[in-house]
């Protein structure tokens, strides 16, 4: 019989539970009573812990952080959580991931319910607890999917992690240096990761709205790893919402402050970041460097030919490549943004005609039509007028069309503004 079936719902608070679990000697109980960050993180671990304490951030005496508050916890709950974690470890080691997740999720709920009286010292354990929960949920769902069963673990994990977010965000500790609010962005990032894995982007947007009205320390004061990950997710969400300038700002910040590419996971994460940043930068006239392509050859395969076509104004080549790479671009989630780059490709072609003609203030639309045809794209004069009007409307070209004379009248000053000065 599993631990979950042995424990009734009243075991969380009923006095008789203390007789069963000897709560006074449970590792989690001692960690809570002693405000012991290392012991708490160790108690919730499925295996050796690496670097979790360092992610708490700030110069804080973790051992003394609880000194200003009273400990108000159910030792029976913590003892039950200890037993559940022990059973989850055994299930995990046996490869029974769905049951390991369910048991560990039960433990996480008990611990979250007793976290309200903790302070910043507890964040190390909270991070470890919820990171383990996410990892077990992924493995659990993979096992269920492979056996053609309905997946459920990640959705349940998200609900439990939301409680962890509340534990951090609603802290009322008087001393902000000891507050659990320093864990908000770590848990938020873990929830973002879960929602993206579930393809429930709308829930990520809801999470952002929950920040409103929460009095938090300035984002710049948080550990840089928390900030970089948060700005990455904010950038991707802005990307999907077509707020390209905000997406560019957030993703560029994340890229500049990204950790060195010392592990396969970091290389993969940087590739994901660049996959969204490159299309936005193309809208601003910024092309990937050779270093980007050398570090991530798969990005060269996906974008390289398209970038060359955009820069050279090869409209026909761009259309052909867009069609050929459609599946890969859709899979990467960037097809629509790359499709928007067609107008940049046309703008570059029109600018080439402008330069070849000696930068005149009047340019015959027939010249542009001829250039489009030579570039391998079929078009008629009506289409050219429409495309040029679109350039003017978007601020990519300064001038107006004389429809009677089929002439483009250009501004004598900066007829083709730099792309980075034009709203995207």
Q: Which structural domains are found in the chain, ordered by start?
A: 3-198 (no CATH), 223-340 (no CATH), 354-421 (1.10.10.10)
Q: What token pair was written down for 390?
A: 């679109």
Q: Which residues, 6+ apart, have CB-to-CB distance to 307 below 8 Å?
A: 278, 282, 287, 288
Residues 65 and 180: their CA atoms lie apart, in Å, by 10
**Phi-psi category of residue 399: left, alpha or beta, with phi > 0 → left and psi -120 to 50 → alpha:** left
Quick check: helix, strand or coil at residue 5? helix
CA distances from 408 to 279, 351, 370, 372 (A): 29, 12, 14, 15
Residues 106 and 99: their CA atoms lie apart, in Å, by 11
Residues 113 and 95: their CA atoms lie apart, in Å, by 28
Long-range residue pairs from 7-16, CB within 8 A, at least 24 positions apart, any chain: 7/80, 7/106, 11/76, 11/80, 12/74, 12/76, 12/77, 12/80, 12/110, 12/113, 13/74, 13/76, 13/77, 14/76, 15/76
Residues 325 and 304: their CA atoms lie apart, in Å, by 11
| Closest alpha carbon to 182 in 98, 228, 119 | 119
Q: What is the pTM of this model?
A: 0.86
**Would you write out the chain's pLDDT as a tens digit for each of its 424 residues?**
444 443 444 344 433 343 343 445 689 999 998 899 999 999 999 876 544 444 544 433 444 444 445 556 788 999 999 999 999 999 999 999 999 999 999 999 999 999 988 999 999 999 999 999 999 999 999 999 999 999 999 999 999 999 999 999 998 877 899 999 999 999 999 999 999 999 999 999 899 888 877 889 999 999 999 999 999 999 999 999 999 999 999 999 999 998 887 788 889 999 999 999 999 999 999 999 999 999 999 999 999 999 999 999 999 999 999 999 999 999 999 999 999 999 999 999 999 999 999 999 999 999 999 999 999 999 999 999 999 999 999 999 999 999 999 999 999 999 999 998 888 7
Residues 228 and 154: their CA atoms lie apart, in Å, by 24
Residue for token digits 């070209």? 397
Report whether 318 contacts 308 (CB < 8 A).
no
Radius of gyration, alpha carbons of the chain: 28
Q: Which helix (H) or strand (E) holds 410?
A: strand 407-410
Residue for token digits 């200890």? 82
Residue for token digits 């203390």? 18
How would you list the strands of the sheet with 362-364, edge to edge? 362-364, 407-410, 399-402
Residues 326 and 321: their CA atoms lie apart, in Å, by 8
Quick check: helix, strand or coil at residue 140? helix
Residue 314: per-residue pLDDT: 96
Q: Which helix (H) or strand (E) holds 199?
A: none
Residue 210: per-residue pLDDT: 85
Residue 55: per-residue pLDDT: 52
CB atoms inside a 10 Å sphere around CB 411: 13
Residue 57: per-residue pLDDT: 47
User: 335-346: b or e for each residue (b if 16 or more CB lie within 10 Å)?
Assistant: bebbebbbbbbb
- Phi and psi (nearest 5°) for 407? -130, 140
Residues 48 and 45: their CA atoms lie apart, in Å, by 7
Q: Which residues, 6+ apart, have CB-to-CB distance to 273 below 8 Å?
A: 232, 235, 251, 254, 255, 258
CA distances from 367 to 363, 374, 381, 385 (A): 7, 11, 11, 12
Q: What token pair was written down for 36?
A: 């012991």
Residues 261 and 269: their CA atoms lie apart, in Å, by 10
Residue for token digits 């671990």? 45
Helix 244-256 with 224-240: angle, nearest 10 deg: 150
């Amino acid at each position: 019989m599993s631990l979950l079936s042995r424990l009734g719902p009243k075991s969380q608070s009923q006095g008789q539970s203390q007789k069963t679990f000897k709560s006074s000697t449970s590792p989690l109980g001692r960690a809570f009573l002693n405000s012991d960050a290392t012991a708490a993180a160790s108690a919730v671990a499925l295996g050796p812990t690496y670097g979790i304490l360092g992610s708490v951030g700030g110069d804080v005496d973790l051992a003394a952080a609880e000194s200003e508050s009273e400990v108000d916890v159910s030792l029976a709950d913590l003892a039950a959580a200890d037993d559940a974690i022990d059973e989850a470890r055994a299930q995990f080691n046996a490869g029974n991931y769905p049951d390991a997740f369910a048991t560990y999720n039960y433990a996480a709920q008990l611990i979250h319910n007793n976290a309200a009286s903790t302070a910043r010292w507890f964040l190390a354990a909270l991070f470890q607890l919820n990171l383990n929960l996410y990892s077990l949920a992924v493995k659990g769902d993979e096992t269920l999917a492979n056996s053609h069963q309905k997946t459920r673990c990640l959705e349940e994990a998200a609900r439990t992690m939301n409680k962890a977010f509340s534990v951090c965000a609603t802290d009322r500790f008087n001393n902000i240096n000891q507050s659990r609010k320093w864990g908000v962005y770590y848990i938020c990032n873990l929830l973002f990761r879960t929602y993206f894995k579930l393809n429930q982007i709308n829930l990520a947007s809801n999470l952002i709205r929950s920040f409103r009205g929460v009095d938090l320390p300035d984002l710049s004061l948080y550990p840089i790893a928390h900030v970089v990950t948060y700005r990455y997710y904010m950038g991707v969400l802005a990307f999907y919402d077509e707020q390209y300038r905000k997406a560019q700002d957030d993703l560029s910040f994340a890229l500049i402050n990204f950790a060195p590419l010392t592990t396969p996971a970091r290389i993969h994460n940087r590739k994901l970041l660049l996959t969204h940043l490159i299309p936005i930068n193309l809208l601003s006239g910024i092309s990937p460097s050779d270093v980007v392509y050398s570090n991530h050859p798969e990005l060269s395969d996906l974008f390289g030919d398209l970038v060359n076509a955009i820069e050279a104004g090869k409209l026909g080549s761009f259309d052909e490549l867009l069609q050929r790479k459609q599946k890969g671009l859709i899979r990467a989630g960037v097809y629509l943004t790359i499709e928007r780059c067609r107008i940049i490709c046309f703008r570059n072609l029109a600018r080439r005609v402008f330069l070849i003609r000696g930068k005149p203030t009047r340019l015959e639309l027939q010249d542009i039509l001829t250039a489009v045809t030579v570039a391998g794209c079929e078009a008629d004069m009506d289409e050219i007028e429409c495309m040029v009007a679109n350039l003017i409307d978007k601020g990519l070209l300064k001038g107006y069309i004389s429809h009677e004379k089929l002439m483009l009248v250009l501004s004598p000053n900066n007829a083709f503004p730099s792309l980075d000065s034009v709203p995207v």
